[in-house]
């Protein structure tokens, strides 16, 4: 009888030994010999923000799979980089500090330590020698350096803008940080505020950010979210001219349209309330109502303004534009469904073919002029009758079709007509082809304390002056009052000693920029820093980055589809253009883990009181059981529910492995065990399991990998009963089992490897076992299955299958079932290992 498995004692033995051995440290060979030597693999988790709540078992759905994968790749002989660090600047950390009245410098360090302690507890195989925090001056010095790089390349600029403002967090938010009109962090309703802000010109990279998605192995859903977010629209710019009063020249109104083929159907123009000409061109009689409308519209959120349910409102300016092709007088309105910052902030209204324009025209009694007929409608005799709206809006056909009532373009199809009109307008100087994007530039400044200071000085003489590189970092000064005062300015503005400085250009008195950078700046390049985290004369060692990057496998939650994943791609492309890196995409493969819900089916959260911590699970069941269970619980990408019964099943599996290993290995028992000749079935099952686990781990199918091991363990117990395999085979099987299970359950496998099997070096330094396809295949045969003497199927089964098993497998065939069709089977003929015939 073997002793019971005592996970507590085993963990206590191995934790300190592993720690001392630097088992997971990738090392940095000064001669770079390492880089030339081995195939590399860089597997990275999304940069976590260590929250006050610490890790839940939900986080383990991210960190355990990447750890398993990293351990597997090490055993495969790869030089593996699997680092961890902390994204500790930013709103969440600062809000926590404000709420608890403790300085964020203290709370973030504390939370980082908690995360690290828990990750070590879970035996995550990070190379801790590369750990850093985005709040380390040695790190954010280079975040600032990148800001200056963007600035020098014309990609960082300052502009006044009406921006989202969170009254709770007291800061400006980027578009991406507003969901359904609410702040992404605190859920408060956001408003608009006009302030001087810093932007990164991500729109310059829009086309490349779309095109290069084709080259990465990412989930389709994430790719399409990015494409939609960037929102590329191809169409035309069409210019309408307006006579100024008293022959004072003309105003030009540029409109953006995706449907130049509808130009003859324009019955009004609509300007965004924010459009520069909205109030300027209003006639004296109309000006007052236009101004009132514009003021009111600016109080609305963009979400509301775009809402389809809301009635379309507007106000007439009293002016008319000239139609560029017909010379007709077109009334000009201001309407809040027209958005500023999209296209040119003005639309040509075509009520017959655009739903929004249609709703607007109906409300204000503007004419509806049909100029597109559905293709093929002629044969159906529908022309002149009611045009069936493709979108359901009565009297509004939004599809492509045939142009009518369009002068010399009548009779053309939409596509060709659009191209011709666009070409003609271009020739006449009244427009031309145009592309527009939904994405706006990335608003980077925050009026908050807890971030990397923007390395800019404002000088009354020289204007905006970048801090010289050799003066970086601009250290974040310590302030006691770190909460926003509510005046819309950063708390840094109150640190007078810090604010007042000298101008790097003229040496005169000047003031520091008091805004800090959005936390997403810090996470836009951290994956490069891990390649050489300790260099201090550059953001990274180019040779190390050449070797390690791009990240081979990047793993995190799907909620980061557009912010972080877009920003990091943008920064990488800028670095590529600057010659700093040789690749344009930072993350070759992206995988999103599913969410782990609490037993009540809801997301784990402190406020709901349903959080399960790894600490409590490990105390009760052990680290191996936790790790194995969080991957066995379901497919990697699936949302799953925690189940206490499930972890008990995994514990039983580990205990049975322990018992078997102790029973078959060691002493005279082992030498006398089994036959002298090898058992092919035994070997086949082993090779088949190696193959399954190998393929499953590579494809991130960790749950089925564990299932394969469970099946094999059952097979081994059966074999132990039959006593068919040789002693050598048994030892090989237990060793192989240890190796296959090692990435999942590092403790029990180390204990069996070292103390049961008696090896001198760690199981975690061994090579991954190889399988032999011939052993697997030679042992399989195909058997014909008949129903009433007619061939209905062939099945593949193990070579030494017994007649009873063979009959069962044959009956399970779907084709056989169809032909048996529920009738009773009168007789079954089995020709061993060759044929089965059912007589019905």
Q: Which does 462 bind (CB under 5 to 8 A by kind): ligand ANZ, Zn ion, none?
A: Zn ion
Of positions 125, 257, 572, 786, contacts ligand ANZ by CB under 6 A = 257
Tokens of 299: 């109080």
In the complex, minimum distance from the CB of residue 330 to ligand ANZ, in angstroms, rounded to a whole number: 13
Stretch that binds ligand ANZ, among 347-355, 728-736, 737-745, 812-820 (CB under 6 A): 347-355
What whole-number distance in Å separates Cα of residue 149 and Cα of residue 828?
79
31: how many CB neighbours lie within 10 A of its CB?
Answer: 7
Per-residue x/- track, 214-233, ligand ANZ (CB under 6 A): -------------------x
Least spacing, CB of residue 579 vs Zn ion, in Å: 30
- 248 in the Ramachandran plot: left (φ > 0), alpha (ψ -120 to 50) or beta? alpha
What is the C-alpha to C-alpha distance for residues 475 and 504, in angstroms, rounded to an integer? 16
The answer to the question of residue 505 lying near Zn ion (CB under 5 A) is yes
Contacting residue, 2, 114, 129, 258, with ligand ANZ by CB under 6 A: 258
Q: How far apart are CA 16 and CA 255, in angstroms?
A: 69
Q: Name which position in 350, 456, 575, 690 contacts ligand ANZ (CB under 6 A).
A: 350
Among ligand ANZ, Zn ion, none, residue 461 binds (CB under 5-8 Å by kind): Zn ion
CB of 511 to Zn ion, least distance (A): 11
DSSP string over 670-737: HHH-SBSSPPHHHHHHHHHHHHHHHHHHHTT-HHHHHHHHHHHHHHHHHHHHHT-SBHHHHHHHHHHH
- Minimum CB distance to ligand ANZ, residue 200 (Å): 22
User: Could you give the string, one character per residue 428-467, with x where binding to Zn ion holds by CB under 5 A and - elsewhere?
Assistant: -------------------------------x-xx-----
Rule CB under 5 A: say whether 339 interacts with Zn ion: no
Nearer to ligand ANZ, 123 or 297 (CB): 297
CB of 154 to Zn ion, least distance (A): 21
Q: How far is the CB of 530 from ligand ANZ (least distance, A)?
A: 39
Q: Using CA atoms, how far apart are residues 551 and 528, in angstroms rounded to an integer?
A: 9
Contact by Cβ (8 Å): 747, 125: no
CA-closest candidate to residue 529, choices 511, 516, 542, 513 = 542
Which among 66-74, 252-260, 718-726, 815-823 is the span making contact with ligand ANZ, rule CB under 6 A? Answer: 252-260
User: Can you read off the two tokens belonging to residue 208?
Assistant: 């490349």
- Does position 373 bind ligand ANZ by CB under 6 A? no
User: How many residues in the chain?
Assistant: 840
Residue 668, token pair as written in the block = 């005279």
**What is the distance between the alpha carbons of residues 570 and 200, in angstroms, rounded to a whole number?**
10
The residue among 4, 181, 172 whose CA lies nearest residue 91 is 172
Judged by CB, which is closer to ligand ANZ: 104, or 345? 345
Indicate which single residue of 322, 339, 368, 775 sits in contact with ligand ANZ (rule: CB under 6 A): 339
- Name the binder of 505 from ligand ANZ, Zn ion, none, CB < 5-8 A by kind: Zn ion
Beta carbon of residue 324, minimum distance to Zn ion (angstroms, whole number): 48
Positive or negative: CA dihedral 417, 420, 423, 429: negative
Binding residue count for ligand ANZ, defined by CB under 6 A = 17
Selection from Zn ion, ligand ANZ, none that 353 binds (CB < 5 to 8 A by kind) is ligand ANZ
Residues 345 and 349: their CA atoms lie apart, in Å, by 13
Quote helix, strand, coil % in the chain, to nearest 5: 40, 20, 40
CA distance 713 to 839: 37
Sort 667 into a burial class: Cβ within 10 Å, 0-12 / 13-18 / 19+.
exposed
- Segments in 533-582 forming alpha helices (H): 542-548, 564-577
Task: Give the one entry of ligand ANZ, Zn ion, none that residue 339 binds, where binding means its C-beta sits below a cut-off of 5 to 8 angstroms depending on kind.
Answer: ligand ANZ
- In this complex, which beta carbon is closest to ligand ANZ, that of residue 144 or of residue 267? 267
Q: Rule CB under 6 A: which of 268-307 touch ligand ANZ? A: 272
Residue 406 CB, shortest distance to ligand ANZ, in Å, is 13
Nearer to ligand ANZ, 306 or 589 (CB): 306
Which listed range, 292-300, 315-323, 337-345, 756-764, lies at the site for ligand ANZ (CB under 6 A)?
337-345
Cβ at position 212, least distance to ligand ANZ in Å = 22
Q: Strand 232-243 relative to strand 431-437: parallel, antiparallel, unpaired?
A: antiparallel
Among residues 435, 506, 578, 825, which is the contact residue for Zn ion, using CB under 5 A?
Answer: 506
Q: Are 415 and 402 in contact (CB under 8 A)?
A: no
Output the smallest distance, CB 209 to ligand ANZ, in A: 17
Spatial distance between the Cα atoms of 333 and 56, rounded to a whole number of angstroms: 55
CB of 779 to ligand ANZ, least distance (A): 60
Only segment of 31-39, 353-361, 496-504, 814-822 that touches Zn ion (CB under 5 A): 496-504
Q: How many CA atoms lie within 13 A of 182 on its CB side?
A: 6
Q: Which long-range contacts (CB under 8 A, 24 or more apart) does 222-230 make?
A: 222/558, 222/561, 222/565, 222/590, 222/592, 225/561, 225/562, 226/561, 226/562, 226/565, 226/566, 228/438, 229/176, 229/438, 229/439, 229/561, 229/562, 229/566, 230/206, 230/437, 230/438, 230/439, 230/566
* Nearer residue to Zn ion within complex by CB, 288 or 461: 461
Q: Which does 350 bind (CB under 5 to 8 A by kind): ligand ANZ, Zn ion, none?
A: ligand ANZ
Helix (H) or strand (E) run with residue 815 in it: helix 814-820
Q: List Cβ neighbours of 662 (8 Å cut-off, separation of 6 or more).
A: 2, 3, 756
User: Among 48, 85, 92, 345, which residue sits at the site for ligand ANZ (rule: CB under 6 A)?
Assistant: 345
Q: How far is the CB of 505 from ligand ANZ (least distance, A)?
A: 40
Q: Name the residue among 75, 110, 77 with its Cα closest to residue 93.
A: 110
Taking the complex as a whole, the smallest distance from the CB of residue 328 to ligand ANZ amounts, in Å, to 16
Selection from ligand ANZ, Zn ion, none that 675 binds (CB < 5 to 8 A by kind) is none
Interface residue list for ligand ANZ (CB under 6 A): 233, 256-259, 262, 272, 338-339, 342-343, 345, 347-348, 350, 353-354
Interface residue list for Zn ion (CB under 5 A): 459, 461-462, 503, 505-506
């Amino acid at each position: 009888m073997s002793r019971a498995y005592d996970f507590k004692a085993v963990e206590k033995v191995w934790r300190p030994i592993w720690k001392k051995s630097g088992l997971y440290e990738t090392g940095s060979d000064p001669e770079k010999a390492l880089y030339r030597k081995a195939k590399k693999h860089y597997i990275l988790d999304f940069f976590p923000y260590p929250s006050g709540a610490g890790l839940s078992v939900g986080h383990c759905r991210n960190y355990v799979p990447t750890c398993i994968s990293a351990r597997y790749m090490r055993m495969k002989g790869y030089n593996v980089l699997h680092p961890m660090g902390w994204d500790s600047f930013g709103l969440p950390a600062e809000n926590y500090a404000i709420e608890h009245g403790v300085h964020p410098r203290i709370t973030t360090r504390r939370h980082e330590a908690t995360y690290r302690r828990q990750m070590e507890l879970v035996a995550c195989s990070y190379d801790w020698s590369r750990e850093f925090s985005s709040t380390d001056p040695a790190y954010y010095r280079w975040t600032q350096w990148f800001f200056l790089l963007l600035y020098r390349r014309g990609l960082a600029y300052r502009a006044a803008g009406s921006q989202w403002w969170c009254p709770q967090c007291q800061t400006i938010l980027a578009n991406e940080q507003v969901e359904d009109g609410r702040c992404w962090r605190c859920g408060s309703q956001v408003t608009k505020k006009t302030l001087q802000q810093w932007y990164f010109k991500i729109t310059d990279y829009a086309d490349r950010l779309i095109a290069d998605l084709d080259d990465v192995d990412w989930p389709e859903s994430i790719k399409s979210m990015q494409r939609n977010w960037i929102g590329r629209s191809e169409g035309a710019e069409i210019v309408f001219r307006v006579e100024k009063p008293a022959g004072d020249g003309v105003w030009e109104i540029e409109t953006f349209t995706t449907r130049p083929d509808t130009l003859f159907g324009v019955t009004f123009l609509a300007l965004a309330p924010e459009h520069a000409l909205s109030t300027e061109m209003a006639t004296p009689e109309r000006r007052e109502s236009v101004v009132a409308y514009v003021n009111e519209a600016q109080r609305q959120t963009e979400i509301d303004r775009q809402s389809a349910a809301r009635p379309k409102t507007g106000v007439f300016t009293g002016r008319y534009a000239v139609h560029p092709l017909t010379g007709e007088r077109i009334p000009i309105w201001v309407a809040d469904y027209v958005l500023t910052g999209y296209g040119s902030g003005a639309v040509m209204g075509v009520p017959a073919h655009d739903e929004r324009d249609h709703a607007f025209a109906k409300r204000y009694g503007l004419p509806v002029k049909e100029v597109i007929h559905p293709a093929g409608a002629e044969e159906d005799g529908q022309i002149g009758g009611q045009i069936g709206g493709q979108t359901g809006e009565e009297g509004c056909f939004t599809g492509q079709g045939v142009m009518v009532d369009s002068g010399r373009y009548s009779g053309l199809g939409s596509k060709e007509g659009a191209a011709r009109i666009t070409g003609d307008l271009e020739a006449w100087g009244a427009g031309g082809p145009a592309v527009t994007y939904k994405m706006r530039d990335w608003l980077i400044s925050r009026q908050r304390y807890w971030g990397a200071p923007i390395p800019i000085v404002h000088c009354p003489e020289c204007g905006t002056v970048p801090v010289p590189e050799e003066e970086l970092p601009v250290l974040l000064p310590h302030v006691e009052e770190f909460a926003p005062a509510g005046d819309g300015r950063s708390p840094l503005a109150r640190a007078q000693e810090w604010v007042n400085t000298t101008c790097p250009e003229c040496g005169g008195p000047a003031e520091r920029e008091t805004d800090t950078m959005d936390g997403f700046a810090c996470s836009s390049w951290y994956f490069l820093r891990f390649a050489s985290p300790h260099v201090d004369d550059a953001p990274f060692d180019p040779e190390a980055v050449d070797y390690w990057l791009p990240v081979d496998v990047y793993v995190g939650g799907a909620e980061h589809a557009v912010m972080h994943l877009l920003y990091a791609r943008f920064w990488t492309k800028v670095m590529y253009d600057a010659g700093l890196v040789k690749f344009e995409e930072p993350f070759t493969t992206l995988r999103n883990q599913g969410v782990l819900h609490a037993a009540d089916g809801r997301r784990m959260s402190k406020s709901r009181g349903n959080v399960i911590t790894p600490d409590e699970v490990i105390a009760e069941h052990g680290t191996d059981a936790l790790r194995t269970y969080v991957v066995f619980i379901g497919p990697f990408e699936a949302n799953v529910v925690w189940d206490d019964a499930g972890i008990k099943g995994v514990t039983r599996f580990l205990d049975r492995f322990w018992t078997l290993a102790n029973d078959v290995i060691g002493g005279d028992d082992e030498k006398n065990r089994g036959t002298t000749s090898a058992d092919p079935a035994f070997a086949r099952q082993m090779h088949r399991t190696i193959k399954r686990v190998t393929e499953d781990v590579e494809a991130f199918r960790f749950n089925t990998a564990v299932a394969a091991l469970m099946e094999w363990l059952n097979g081994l117990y059966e074999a132990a009963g039959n006593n068919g395999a040789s002693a050598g085979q048994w030892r090989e099987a237990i060793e192989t089992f240890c190796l296959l299970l090692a990435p999942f359950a590092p403790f029990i496998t180390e204990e069996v490897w070292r103390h049961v099997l008696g090896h001198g070096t760690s199981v975690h330094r061994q090579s991954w076992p190889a399988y032999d396809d011939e052993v697997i295949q030679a042992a399989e045969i195909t058997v014909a299955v008949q129903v009433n003497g007619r061939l209905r199927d062939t099945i593949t089964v193990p070579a030494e299958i017994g007649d009873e098993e063979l009959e069962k497998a044959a009956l399970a065939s779907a084709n056989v079932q169809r032909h048996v069709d529920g009738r009773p089977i009168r007789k079954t003929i089995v020709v061993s290992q060759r044929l089965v015939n059912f007589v019905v």
